[in-house]
Chains A and B, each alone.
Chain A
């Protein structure tokens, strides 16, 4: 493919070189005529004429009809002048020689013209092939679902190799900005204000700007054509302009007939692919929004209970206390301790709800970075009250495994699971956290000595606002912690489940994909 592409490039350069064919023809024909002068006594004029025909054909093959015609006429005069008596005069001695000479001229002209014609056809065919191949490759590239940037880079590269462009670039409309965004650019050319203005103009008006400034850009709308160098082709679809292809081809006007249709076809293909990608993106966004909406509805419907219960409890206790004329200090302290617990439950609920709503809304995009799980667990424990922190015991793998994670999110998820274990197991009993590398996944287990989770509950425990049977005997807990953990682990490409621990208790198992090992990182 690239070989054929190069042919076209060569042909273009040939065309540019045709000018240098004329002096060459003069030198070759006159040179040969003069060089053969010492052999004149032994050379018959017809032999010489025959010898010139291939030379003229060769010139026609490489430089086209103009050069070969000049060579024919020059040869005609050279033979007449140097090889036909009387020498050094244009007159010709005999009538047959005249006829011969005229015949030579006719043969030379006709064969030159035929050769040039043949060459022209050949080249047109080659060019067509190359152009078709280019469009084919472009279609393939687009079909293989390359990104817009990849497609733009491909177009820029091929515009240079196939069309001989000295400069090419692809622009797309900037998001929320009147200035277009450059997706791909040839060479190291820096941004030029004129070029950006021209691209912006084309995006806005959907009209092409060409070197002559004649295309479309005439009439009422003033175009920035003064600054524009090269052609700006809108990547337009029926829905609007998806971008601009900027291309500078030397001698564009002379080749416009040939290049324009190809550029048009390329522009259409690229425009269609850009449009398709844009539509796919907005469809995905709409889907995400619908999903977020659905979750929000569920959330709102169940949230009031979570917030009202502790608030009502605290309020009841405090108003009760205010009505009592005298209270013993011990009872006051006990009541206040209960109020404090209610409020901290409310606080946890609100924090969890905020977490969850951010997690589920489109606004909170996880920021993935490479971290070790040990580090995340370190932060989790550092944020626990010290009496609780000392209950958590670790047995972590020595192997170094980096996980691609949003640190804060994953820390919150793990904190929820650890909190859950601390909460549902006897006070001061340990919670065991261990990790192990299993293939390309890191398996983390959090095990407690609590009552465990019944089989019926194992399914539902990660649902929003589901609180275990055990929790009905204990206040606190929001029914959101594990749902958040589930959601976060899922966004990290991991899984979370719960199984029975021996002899008693629950074992939460979290499996996360490992991104890299140390060796690759350092």
Chain B
């Protein structure tokens, strides 16, 4: 597995290199956006780790340019205060994000999830299991712990988009665009209400939502807990 790290901070590059090398990933390093884009073209890595604050160009711009041809997963690194950048990068096609500082455990878990998705996902599979949820895309049916639940059209559509991106954050904008259409991308209050109704039907009463987790200011993530480590 080849991973390209685009980050302008030398310490972070070296740390990532040693941490990932030990796990037998082949790590290539780029110190700015230009070098990153060049290396991405020549190496075609299996995954790209991209820092959003680069000296020569914005991380979002790199993300947008990569996405013109690169189909592998892009994991962006951002700082706590960079919500806007993070959301933009995700809207431009990044697959997930980590907020600095992060632990090695978190990083490895994200990388594994992204690579697994890349290899194993057949996005056109007609049925899917996420923990105790079973989703039948063809019949538009959902069962929770073996019991059929009635979802409205919108609720099913939201769940379907989240399921197709399981373990990956989906921005509110992406959800609104996929379910309602591009002219509704700012109607996040409506989205929240529908997600709330959806949760009532698929989550355990009296407990916190375990399937659909809110990513503050970004969007939602459908979590699969039986992650193979």
Contacts and interface: CB of A to CB of B under 8 A. Distances in A.
Contacts of B83: 408
B80 interface: yes
B164 to A, nearest CB: 20
B146 interface: no
Interface string A343-376: 0100100010010001000000001011110111
Contacts of B206: 394-398
Interface stretch (A119-127, A255-263, A378-386): A378-386
A378 B81 contact: no
B213 A408 contact: no
B131 interface: no
Contact of B80 (A351, A367, A521): A351
Contact of B105 (A385, A407, A521): A385
Interface in A330-349: 344, 347
Given A369-B189, A375-B214, A347 B101 contact: yes
A407 B217 contact: yes
A317 B179 CA distance: 55
Q: Which bucket holds chain B's interface residue count?
A: 20 to 34
Interface stretch (B26-34, B56-64, B88-96, B191-199): B191-199
A347 B100 CA distance: 10
A189 interface: no
A110 B142 CA distance: 95
Interface in B185-220: 188-189, 192-193, 196-197, 199-200, 205-210, 212-217
Nearest to B207: A394
A396 B208 contact: yes
A354 B101 CA distance: 13
A378 B192 contact: no
A375 B196 contact: yes
Contacts of A378: 208-210, 212-214
A379 B215 contact: yes
B216 A379 contact: yes
B111 interface: no
B223 interface: yes
Contacts of A394: 206-208
Nearest to A372: B196
A92 interface: no
Interface in B148-181: none
A144 interface: no
Interface string A378-421: 11011001000000001111101000000110010000000000
A473 interface: no
Given A347-B101, A370-B189, A385-B105, A376 B214 contact: yes
A377 interface: yes
A492 to B, nearest CB: 15
Interface in A487-507: none
A374 B80 contact: no
A521 B208 contact: no
Contact of A407 (B103, B199, B214): B214
Contacts of B221: 382
With most chain A CB atoms within 10 A of its CB, the pick from B81, B189, B205, B216 is B216
B207 A371 contact: no
Contacts of A372: 196
A381 B207 CA distance: 11
Nearest to B80: A354
B193 A379 contact: no
B192 A371 contact: yes
Contact of A369 (B81, B192, B212): B192
Given A407-B217, A408-B217, A377 B208 contact: yes
Interface in B88-122: 101, 103, 105
21 contacts: A344-B103, A347-B101, A351-B80, A354-B80, A354-B81, A370-B192, A371-B192, A372-B196, A375-B199, A375-B208, A376-B214, A378-B213, A379-B215, A379-B216, A381-B208, A382-B223, A394-B206, A395-B206, A407-B214, A408-B217, A521-B193
The 9 closest A-B pairs by CB, nearest first: A408-B216, A378-B209, A378-B208, A382-B213, A377-B208, A407-B216, A394-B207, A379-B214, A375-B214
Given A382-B213, A396-B206, A407-B216, 7 more contacts: A347-B101, A370-B192, A375-B196, A378-B208, A378-B213, A400-B196, A411-B216
Interface of B: 80-81, 83, 101, 103, 105, 188-189, 192-193, 196-197, 199-200, 205-210, 212-217, 221, 223
Interface of A: 344, 347, 351, 354, 358, 367, 369-372, 374-379, 381-382, 385, 394-398, 400, 407-408, 411, 518, 521-522
